[in-house]
């Protein structure tokens, strides 16, 4: 696919040379670059010399023509590295930037690549292509930016690799603020959107087109032939918030979220692939809000998501909804889609919250059911029978089913007119793609304008041969949708080279920090038994495993300054600690994140350890985020504070870790913040945090707890407190759980410690 673009691009270059006397110049420093841009004429080529270009703000303001664009390119694609405090702004017409690699830095402004210089100098017919932006994050998680900002009209992002955004803000944002930005027909083509880790809060989409204020505006943005791989920032991978956008031939691979028509109307979602792993319930498909959308020829495989993340989620709306909330779904066409091994593929009335009216204002109650919706000619196959092909969160009286086919698997489900049970089998045609092994002998339903659905998923004609499901020809050749050479730059690969971990033995008379610094990512430090005297914080900024030598016990005694951590977890720090004793003097922390500049995530895993005499066992500061924190088979003793993850008090849906796991642990004489895990504000753009607390014992804890609750989980969506012992803890409550969400407790033994109380509708601040 991307080869076609470069052939066209090469032809354009040849055409330029014939039409104008273009100049080609190599620039070696920023001053030369600025002068060359100032003097550029149609057909000129400005070549940046290979090497590192640091702390540069490129303003590419020039006027090319359709026949003779002005080109700014790398001497060798991928060998020009843009680092430090740097960015790129387009202004003018018919400009092309090709082959740059942004790394090791961040933008000084609101975008890394911006299709405008300012409000009056915007870009039209400009291209950013064949480039990489990787981990180019602001220093603070809440310092928002967008890596690509679209303004103007007819601009293109193509054949780029973009991954690793961790701070607030969609990776790509399309703006429509002004007549010069509507009817824009921007194109986002053939890109590889690599992993975007969970942000731990809202505003982490990979693509956002418009916003609520411009949601009635026409955009006509095309997003096509892109690979979205592990784009896990939040529940919306793509958030379409304007009218007439099209999403075609994209692949969503193991991405924890959905393509969402959040605002705006009349989207076309055609011939996309949604591939899950058959396990992860956070991997979704398509979520529909508002009116007039067409969802056709899509393929859904191994998706296990529910509610907001179900394969197809059609939401309830808010009556007379304001622009920034949920419009009623009307006039939806869902036709010719295929669902293979997807649990409960069709869910209607998602988000209905009438039972929460006691804690929410009427303007938040989603009671307007979908209406005038047609579900036709779709195919569903499950290896294991599923009683819930259709999930009714509310009545589905506004949905008509026509000529849909579900395979028989000996499981009865509610009888819907328009859903037919047939006995058919599948065959695998390529990785992740399965089709019926024989044709389905049912004539497809022909509804209004169905004759305009002329192609199937693979591009075959529906006019000569038509059928049920996404593919009309069971013998057709399927594309290799995960061939990464079809996406992104030709010169870049994200495949990591495997490296065998090295084991490094450390004796008590050696400097442990020096050994940590010498180690490479993934290495194992084995500590001999005995006493290690630690006088300053041990800094962790890589993936490292530290453990005691088998059969021995290393004791780390920390005598550092007050309010400093023994282990300081830096951006990209991933620490696993096994079989080690940590001792403080009552005023320090065992583990903490940085207080500021946590521009990337960290992780912490503690096994078989003893932690005692610290002011905090764990302190996670505001704007710090860990994908996973776990303590297993570990004792936390005689500490003022336990595990504290509660500084995100802006009540905008943010929190400090996605998964907090405490198993087989023993807490004794921890005075407050025993486990304090906080997320404030009604927000559904995130998983919402996960606490698993099992098979652990809490004794004599919580004596200084101000709110009288031992285990604080306010606002966390998924909480499991099971099989624990709570004994002699002087608190009012062991826990206060949120019944309307996925909070539950079972098999806990409680004595002299208060109760576990479930509050069905927890009152939180509405953040919108």
Residue 518's region, left for phi above 0, alpha for psi from -120 to 50, else beta, is: alpha
Share of the chain above pLDDT 70, in %: 97
Instruction: Give the model's confidence band at 21: pLDDT under 50 very low, under 70 low, under 90 confident, else very high.
Output: low
Instruction: Give the model's confidence band at 7: pLDDT under 50 very low, under 70 low, under 90 confident, else very high.
Output: very low
* SS3 letters across 281-349: CCCCCEEECCECCEEECCEEECCCCCHHHCCEEEECECCCCCCCCCCCCECCEEECCEEECCCCCEEEE
- The domains of the chain are located at 24-425+480-486, 501-618, 646-768
Average pLDDT over residues 485-504: 92
Tokens representing residue 221 in the block:
């943005």
Instruction: Give the model's confidence band at 220: pLDDT under 50 very low, under 70 low, under 90 confident, else very high.
Output: very high
CB atoms within 10 A of CB 450: 19
Is residue 627 within 8 A of residue 658, CB to CB? The reply is yes
Q: For 695-736, how does the pLDDT look when each residue is reduced to its tens digit (9 = 90+)?
A: 999 999 999 999 999 999 999 999 999 999 999 999 999 999
Task: Supply the pLDDT for residue 411.
Answer: 74
Kindly state the greatest CA–CA separation across the chain: 88
Closest CA to 547 of 519, 509, 505: 505
Q: For 96-132, how does the pLDDT look when each residue is reduced to its tens digit (9 = 90+)?
A: 999 999 999 999 999 999 999 999 999 999 999 999 9
Is residue 656 within 8 A of residue 624, CB to CB? The reply is yes
Share of the chain above pLDDT 90, in %: 88
Is residue 316 within 8 A of residue 326, CB to CB? The reply is yes
Is residue 466 within 8 A of residue 440, CB to CB? The reply is no
Coil, helix or strand for 276?
coil
Average pLDDT over residues 53-74: 98
Distance between CA 114 and CA 725 in Å, rounded? 56
Average pLDDT over residues 379-385: 91
Coil, helix or strand for 580?
strand
Average pLDDT over residues 659-680: 97
Task: Supply the pLDDT for residue 22.
Answer: 72
Beta-ladder partners of 209: 174, 240
C-alpha triplet 270, 272, 274: angle, nearest 5°: 140
With tokens 């009817």, the residue in question is 183
* SS3 letters across 204-220: CCCEEECCHHHCCCECC
For residue 30, give the DSSP letter. Answer: H
Q: For 345-381, how does the pLDDT look when each residue is reduced to its tens digit (9 = 90+)?
A: 999 999 999 988 888 888 899 999 999 999 999 999 9
For residue 2, give the DSSP letter. Answer: H
Is 13 a residue whose pLDDT tops 80? no
Cβ neighbours for 414, distance < 8 A, ≥ 6 positions apart:
390
Backbone φ, ψ for residue 625 (5° rounding): -145, 135
Q: For 272-283, how does the pLDDT look when each residue is reduced to its tens digit (9 = 90+)?
A: 999 999 999 999
Instruction: Give the model's confidence band at 15: pLDDT under 50 very low, under 70 low, under 90 confident, else very high.
Output: very low
Cβ neighbours for 456, distance < 8 A, ≥ 6 positions apart:
271, 297, 336, 462, 470, 471, 472, 473
Task: Supply the pLDDT for residue 685.
Answer: 66
Beta-ladder partners of 381: 340
CB atoms within 10 A of CB 649: 11
Beta-ladder partners of 399: 373
Q: For 176-188, how does the pLDDT look when each residue is reduced to its tens digit (9 = 90+)?
A: 999 999 999 999 9
* Rounded CA Rg of the chain: 28
Is 410 a residue whose pLDDT tops 50? yes
24-425+480-486 belongs to which homologous superfamily?
Answer: Single-stranded right-handed beta-helix, Pectin lyase-like (2.160.20.10)
Distance between CA 221 and CA 539 in Å, rounded? 46
Closest CA to 682 of 310, 369, 370, 366: 366
Is residue 445 within 8 A of residue 333, CB to CB? The reply is no
Is residue 97 within 8 A of residue 127, CB to CB? The reply is yes
Is 538 a residue whose pLDDT tops 70? yes
With tokens 């003793």, the residue in question is 637
Q: Is 233 exposed, middle or buried (0-12, 13-18, 19+ CB in 10 A)?
A: buried
Q: For 563-616, how does the pLDDT look when each residue is reduced to its tens digit (9 = 90+)?
A: 999 999 999 999 999 999 999 999 999 999 999 999 999 999 999 999 999 999
């Amino acid at each position: 696919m991307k080869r076609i673009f470069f052939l066209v691009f090469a032809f354009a270059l040849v055409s330029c040379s014939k039409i104008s006397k273009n100049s080609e110049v190599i620039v070696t420093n920023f001053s030369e670059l600025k002068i060359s841009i100032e003097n550029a004429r149609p057909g000129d080529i400005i070549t940046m010399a290979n090497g590192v270009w640091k702390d540069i703000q490129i303003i590419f303001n020039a006027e090319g023509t359709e026949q003779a664009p002005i080109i700014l390119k790398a001497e060798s694609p991928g060998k020009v590295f843009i680092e430090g405090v740097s960015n790129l702004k387009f202004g003018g017409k018919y400009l092309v930037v090709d082959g740059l690699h942004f790394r090791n830095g961040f933008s000084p402004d609101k975008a890394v690549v911006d299709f405008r210089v300012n409000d009056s100098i915007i870009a039209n017919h400009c291209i950013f292509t064949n480039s990489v932006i990787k981990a180019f994050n602001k220093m603070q998680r809440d310092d928002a930016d967008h890596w690509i900002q679209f303004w103007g009209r007819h601009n293109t992002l193509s054949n780029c690799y973009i991954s690793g955004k961790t701070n607030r803000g969609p990776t790509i944002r399309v703006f429509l603020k002004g007549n010069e930005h509507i009817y824009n027909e921007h194109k986002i083509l053939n890109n590889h959107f690599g992993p975007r880790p969970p942000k731990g809060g809202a505003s982490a989409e990979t693509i956002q087109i418009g916003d609520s204020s411009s949601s009635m505006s026409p955009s006509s943005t095309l997003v096509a032939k892109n690979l979205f791989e592990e784009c896990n920032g939040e529940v919306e991978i793509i958030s379409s918030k304007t009218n007439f956008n099209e999403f075609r031939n994209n692949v969503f691979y193991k991405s924890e979220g959905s393509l969402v028509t959040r605002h705006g109307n009349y989207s076309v979602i055609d011939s996309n692939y949604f591939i899950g792993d058959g396990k992860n319930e956070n991997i979704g498909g398509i979520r529909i809000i508002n009116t007039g959308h067409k969802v056709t020829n899509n393929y859904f495989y191994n998706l296990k998501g529910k509610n907001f993340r179900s394969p197809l989620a059609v939401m309830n709306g808010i009556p007379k909804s304001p622009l920034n909330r949920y419009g009623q779904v009307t006039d939806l066409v869902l036709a010719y889609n295929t669902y293979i091994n997807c649990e409960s593929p069709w869910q209607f009335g998602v988000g209905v919250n009438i039972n929460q009216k006691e804690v929410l204002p009427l303007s938040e109650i989603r009671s307007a059911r979908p209406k005038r919706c047609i579900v036709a000619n779709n195919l569903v196959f499950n290896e294991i029978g599923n009683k819930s092909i259709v999930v009714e969160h509310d009545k589905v009286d506004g949905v008509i089913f026509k000529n849909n086919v579900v395979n028989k698997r000996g499981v009865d489900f509610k009888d819907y007119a328009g859903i037919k049970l047939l006995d058919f089998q599948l065959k695998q045609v390529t990785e992740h793609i399965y089709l019926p092994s024989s044709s389905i002998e049912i004539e497809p339903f022909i509804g209004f304008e169905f004759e305009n659905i002329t192609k199937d998923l693979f591009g075959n004609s529906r006019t000569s041969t038509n059928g049920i499901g996404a593919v009309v020809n069971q013998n057709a050749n399927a594309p290799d949708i995960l061939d990464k050479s079809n996406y992104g730059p030709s010169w870049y690969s994200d495949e990591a080279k495997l490296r065998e971990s090295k084991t490094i033995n450390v004796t008590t008379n050696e400097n442990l920090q020096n050994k940590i610094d010498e180690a490479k990512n993934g290495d194992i430090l084995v500590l001999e038994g005995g006493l290690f005297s630690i006088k300053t914080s041990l800094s962790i900024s890589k993936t490292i495993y530290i453990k005691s030598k088998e059969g021995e016990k290393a004791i780390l005694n920390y005598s550092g300054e007050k309010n400093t951590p023994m282990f300081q977890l830096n951006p990209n720090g991933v620490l696993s600690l096994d079989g080690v004793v940590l001792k403080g003097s009552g005023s320090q922390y065992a583990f903490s994140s940085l207080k500021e500049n946590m521009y990337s995530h960290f992780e912490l895993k503690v096994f078989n350890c003893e932690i005692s005499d610290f002011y905090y066992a764990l302190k996670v500061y505001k704007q710090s985020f860990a994908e996973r924190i776990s303590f297993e088979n570990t004792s936390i003793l005689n500490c003022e504070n336990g595990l504290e993850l509660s500084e995100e008090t802006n009540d905008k849906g943010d929190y400090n870790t996605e998964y907090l796991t405490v198993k087989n642990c023993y807490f004794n004489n921890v005075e407050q913040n025993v486990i304090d895990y906080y997320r404030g504000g009604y927000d559904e753009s995130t998983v919402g945090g996960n606490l698993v607390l099992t098979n652990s014992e809490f004794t004599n804890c919580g004596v200084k707890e101000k709110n009288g609750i031992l285990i604080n989980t306010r606002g966390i969506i998924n909480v499991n407190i099971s099989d624990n012992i709570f004994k002699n803890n002087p608190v009012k409550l062991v826990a206060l759980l949120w019944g309307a969400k996925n909070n539950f407790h079972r098999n806990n033994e409680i004595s002299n410690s208060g109760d576990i109380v479930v509050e069905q509708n927890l009152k939180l601040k509405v953040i919108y």
